[in-house]
Amino acid sequence: MDLNSVQDLKDVLRPDFFHGYATAATQIEGAWNKDGKGPSIWDTFGHTPGKIADGSTADDAVRAYDFYRSDIALMKTYGVNAYRFSLSWTRIIPLGGRNDPVNETGIKFYSDLIDELLRNNITPFITLFHWDTPQALEDRYGGMLNQEEYTPDFVRYARVCFERFGDRVKHWITYNEPGIYTTLGYAEGVHAPGRSSFRERSEEGDSSTEPFVVAHTQILSHAYAVRAYREEFQERQRGTIGITLHGNWSEPWDEEDERDREAAQRALEFEIGWFADPIYKSGDYPASMRKQLGERLPRFTEEEKKLVLGSSEFYGMNHYTTFFMKHRDAEPDINDNKGNVEVRDENKHGVPRGEETDTQWLRAAPGGFRKLLNWIYQRYQMPIYVTENGTTAKGETAPTAEVLNDEFRIRFFEGYVGNALARAVKEDGVDVRSYFAWTLTDNWEWAAGYADRFGCTFIDYESEEKTRYPKQSAYYLDKLFKHLIKDE
């Protein structure tokens, strides 16, 4: 665990840099129907046969609901100064709606969690929504497909959280990866609520229109929640609020071909600009999207454009990997949401996009991370909070000495944090203010079940208490950040 490759990067990160772990309620808490919690769309999806790769559910997950205190103690040994976690909407408002009762037991759980973090000098970053729409709202009016009904429900939920936790929580994120929620849930149908045009996969849905309706709902409800925070809470509570967007780096398949360079740029606009351009740049969708999608892409009113533009006080960035993009001469497929491109694992010269992990879509490509940090900073001119980044590693099936000495993950962090993020700060002048590794413990990785282990802590899923075994990557990150962050 030497730091030879980053020796020249000592003290390059700001003294108030936040570093820690990111998690999501559905993936770690368990207690899915206890103490008044209502069902979410992921509870429904996880209990539907054939939807989860290993047939598992998140009913128990890693029992963080029961063991959060010891998990915080573990984080303390990992040297973190911040923790990003999401709230379960249905633990707080079981039926989700603006007129539905609040569950005081759920409020107390999160209040106790926040207090325990603060006692350990760990700064809480709260995500209001990490994909777990209340099932009751899905049943009542179709969830996010009905913007008019959904928005006041989400804003009321946000307001309850600001009221109950905002005296102690100063870092708020409205939505986590609205683009992934949208495309996997409504275009491909492989995530909850499982809607798409592909009938072998989904009983209902329209991949050509619904993703754009749902995305529009998320952008607008985010903006209304931010307005509520700013008007009613921010002056007194003195916190900051924004949104977290996902984004892979898109590289031209043939960097000499202008069409492939345009395809890579277009892919970035369809994946990232879809949400970031309205919020940070123009109040509207990228022109490339309007050109391809026409009236299938909803329109903002002039009033909505003003509401949306500037509605995030930082750029929340989740990033994992890089893909090569090749242009397509053909007309776009009616269900395309990627910008009419071919996505490749190798470029024209047979160079792979990165080193393989234990997850098919994820390859280690730290160079793409640095390029994307620059692209985002130049395009949007906002301070960047890296709110997720991490990897799986092959062969992590038992807590052996070799598995716990997770050299692949250590190399991943060395590349992404040291030689990408820190150099982007030092050499490129990018303003980066946090790094949250995904994730603290192995967990329930949505439709992949328990097979994909992203944790810096190994979980024995067979044990009743989901026994935790620290991996060396957690201690490496501590050592790395002690080197990179300037002392006060």
Q: What is the pLDDT of residues 235-275, one digit of tens each?
A: 999 999 999 999 999 999 999 999 999 999 999 999 999 99
pLDDT digits 0-9 by tens, 29-54 = 999 999 999 999 999 999 999 999 99
Largest CA distance in the chain: 60
Name the token pair of 289: 């999207």
Ranges of residues in the chain whose predicted pLDDT is under 50: none
Note the pLDDT of residue 435.
99
Note the pLDDT of residue 159.
99
Kindly state the DSSP code that residue 393 receives in the 8-state scheme: -
**Phi and psi based region of residue 473 (left: phi greater than 0; alpha: psi -120 to 50; beta: remaining):** alpha
CB atoms under 10 Å from CB of 345, counted, come to 13
Note the pLDDT of residue 2.
84
Q: Which residues are catalytic?
A: 177, 388
Burial 264-301 (b: 16+ CB within 10 A, else e): bbbbbbbbbbbbbbbbbeebbbbebbeebbeebbbebe
Note the pLDDT of residue 488.
81
Residue type at 66? D
CA-based torsion, 42, 169, 272, 293: positive or negative:
positive
Domains of the chain: 18-401+428-459 (3.20.20.80)
- Rounded CA separation 454/396 (Å): 10
- Rounded CA separation 425/11 (Å): 11
- Rounded CA separation 236/269 (Å): 37
Backbone φ and ψ of 344, nearest 5°: -125, 150
Instruction: Say what percent of the chain tops pLDDT 70.
Output: 100
- Rounded CA separation 261/109 (Å): 49
Name the token pair of 36: 């008044």
- Rounded CA separation 472/110 (Å): 29
Note the pLDDT of residue 127.
99
pLDDT digits 0-9 by tens, 359-372 = 999 999 999 999 99
- Rounded CA separation 117/55 (Å): 34
- Rounded CA separation 268/274 (Å): 9
Give CA 108 to chain center in angstroms. Answer: 25
pLDDT digits 0-9 by tens, 131-160 = 999 999 999 999 999 999 999 999 999 999
CA-based torsion, 153, 154, 159, 160: positive or negative:
positive
Give CA 238 to chain center in angstroms. Answer: 24
Hunting for tokens 């429904």 — which residue is that? 44
